[in-house]
Structure 1
Amino acid sequence: MAETFSPAAPSMLGQFWRDFRRNKVAVIALVALVLILLAAIFAPLIVPQDPYDLKSLVLRDARRPPGYVGRDGMMHLLGTDSQGRDLLSAIVYGLRISLQMGLMAGAIAFTIGAIVGSSAAYIGGWLETLIMRIVDIQLSFPAILLAFVVAAILGQGKEQLILALVFAQYAYFVRTAHGAAAAERRKDYVQAALSVPMSGWFVVTRHILPNALPPLIVVATVQVASAISLEATLSFLGVGLPATEPSLGMLIANGFQYLMSGRYWIAIYPGIALIILIMAINLVGDQIRDQLNPRLRK
């Protein structure tokens, strides 16, 4: 029987953190990610303007350069966008929306993929073959194409976009969970559990799935970053969030048409924020992958 908890867990976490600190780039990325998360959580308290409050917007202050002082006396450090919103406030709220979309889509895809993949490995037979052939077919298509088609069918909105992202990403979790669970199923402790009368659901959730989590956690970090970039791409293409939602992709789309006119800040600054967010998640995820994989551990 496999143990899912050990008194040595705190020491293992301490060793994990000590190994993590050796990679200075990953530590910097983690600090940046924590700061972004805090800014997104406390956005209403730290930004000078609520970009959702239409009464606070002044259209005459639209497309103003960084450092502009508006008619209400507010200084716009990063300028204003095409709707007169303070760009710094819109970017912070955009980070909030992008993180919400990425984390929610990643969590749902993680749950579906982990259950389906580990269950398929446990059940075996023709059902396992059918599930994995469907997954293989889906993985043969680019995720952006699948997300674009589903988003175009469902229409604009947060819920519709999350469903599109989940549909485009759950197959990655199914494939990873199936591979890890299939390896675990052949081990002695699972065979011992199968020799006594207990439900298959208990064997999957108590023995197989917990030991298949490390590779799923690594995939989750990658897919959260991928979901954020997919959301930005779909919003840029006009099939993601509506124009009233100041996500990073929508901010870039709104400012793209003004690049050639010299109003670079409307698109460039949200783009920089998006790049920093995705890079921070990927760098932290790469370090976690290296530490959880003995072959990559230094």
Structure 2
Amino acid sequence: MRDTLLGRFLEEFFRNKVATGAAMVVLLIVLTAIVAPLVTPQDPYDLTSLVLRDARRAPGYVGTGGYTHWLGTDSQGRDLLSAIIYGLRISLQMGVIAGGIAFVIGAVVGCSAAYIGGRFESLAMRIIDLQLSFPAILLAFVIAALLGQGRYQLIMALIFAQYAYFARTAHGAASAERQKDYVEAALSIPLSPWRVVLKHILPNSLPPLIVVATVQVASAISLEATLSFLGVGLPPTEPSLGMLIANGFQYLLSGRYWISIYPGVALILFIVSLNLVGDQIRDQLNPRLRR
């Protein structure tokens, strides 16, 4: 039955040519990011391989290392194609790790509030609503500025900025599940509250959470790039896409457009593709949204 449902889901998904193309782009980016050390001509982390006289060279320039910089070089002499691939790798890591942890925290908080009810539910949801009233970028910026630059600090900032979306979605889905007969039957056995939440309510609340997760991974990547661009995300030594765009921003007026434009195009392509895939999954999981 699962194979049949999965087959039908994939068949319907691939009927949408736009979503199929977006999924192929996402898959290509993910695979390229995974095998980045094997496909890039230069390791942008290796400072000893950088030559300053190769800095800010136009696309197609043959560098000191003997290989062609197809997308040019940045202000530090790094091969821009290599830096973009490694930047996509970092963005993917940040998005998946931060989104995954925020998913777990938000799902547990939302489902627990729906199950326990009473004052705990009211207090938890008021805190969630208060947090959702602020833009995610503002919350992430404040937390990142307080914690300082670094991967772990940035992940914590992204988690804090995003878990509320999962909590609100999980609470809405779990509140509907809480009233169903199978939950009442599980309580009459009786089972422990945590077992009811984790084995009965949470699994049946996953479809809307999966849709939110797809969107929030793209949002986390966008937030990471924005924070790095503003100087409170990853340190300058790590080729984040946001950092690459920031490094080349000052050279736009001098004609060296490639330093910022190419990383920006890669970032936009990745985020738009993820959003298109998420929209198609949402339409399939919620029949009322189908055209």
TM-score (norm 2): 0.99
CA distance in structure 2 between the aligned counterparts of 1:143 and 1:234, rounded to whole angstroms: 11
Aligned twin of 2:17:
24
Aligned twin of 2:79:
86
Letter in 2 for 1:31: M
1:224 pairs with one of 217, 220, 228: 217
CA distance in structure 2 between the aligned counterparts of 1:296 and 1:15, rounded to whole angstroms: 18
Matched, 1:285 2:278: yes
What is the Cα deviation at residue 267 of structure 1? Answer: 0.2
CA distance in structure 2 between the aligned counterparts of 1:33 and 1:108, rounded to whole angstroms: 21
Letter in 2 for 1:161: L
Secondary structure in 2 matching 1:295:
helix
What is the Cα deviation at residue 165 of structure 1? Answer: 0.4
Q: Per-residue CA shift, 1:213-257, capped at 9, x if unaligned?
A: 000000000100000000000000000000001010000000001
What is the Cα deviation at residue 295 of structure 1? Answer: 0.6
CA distance in structure 2 between the aligned counterparts of 1:294 and 1:205, rounded to whole angstroms: 26
1:172 pairs with one of 165, 182, 203: 165
Letter in 2 for 1:58: V
Q: Per-residue CA shift, 1:14-65, capped at 9, x if unaligned?
A: 0000100110000000000000000000000001000011111111000000
Matched, 1:132 2:128: no
Q: Per-residue CA shift, 1:48-91, capped at 9, x if unaligned?
A: 00001111111100000000011221110000000000000000
Aligned twin of 2:42:
49
Secondary structure in 2 matching 1:205:
helix
Matched, 1:65 2:58: yes
CA distance in structure 1 between the aligned counterparts of 2:16 and 2:266, rounded to whole angstroms: 23
What is the Cα deviation at residue 191 of structure 1? Answer: 1.1
CA distance in structure 1 between the aligned counterparts of 2:88 and 2:159, rounded to whole angstroms: 19
Structure 2 regions of 5+ residues with no counterpart?
none
CA distance in structure 1 between the aligned counterparts of 2:186 and 2:66, rounded to whole angstroms: 70
Letter in 2 for 1:166: I
Root mean square deviation of aligned Cα = 0.6
Matched, 1:248 2:248: no
Secondary structure in 2 matching 1:63:
coil
Aligned twin of 1:34:
27
Runs of 4 or more above 6 Å deviation: none
CA distance in structure 2 between the aligned counterparts of 1:72 and 1:227, rounded to whole angstroms: 35
Matched, 1:150 2:143: yes
CA distance in structure 1 between the aligned counterparts of 2:242 and 2:74, rounded to whole angstroms: 13
Identity of aligned residues (%): 76
CA distance in structure 1 between the aligned counterparts of 2:199 and 2:134, rounded to whole angstroms: 34
Secondary structure in 2 matching 1:242:
coil
Aligned twin of 1:5:
none
Structure 1 regions of 5+ residues with no counterpart?
1-7
Q: Per-residue CA shift, 1:241-281, capped at 9, x if unaligned?
A: 00001010000000001000000000000000000000110
* Residues paired across the two proteins, number: 291
Q: Per-residue CA shift, 1:78-122, capped at 9, x if unaligned?
A: 000000000000000000000000110100000000011001100
* Matched ranges for 1:184-263 at <5 A: 184-263=177-256
Which deviates more from structure 2 when the two are superposed, residues 92-101 or residues 190-199?
Answer: 190-199
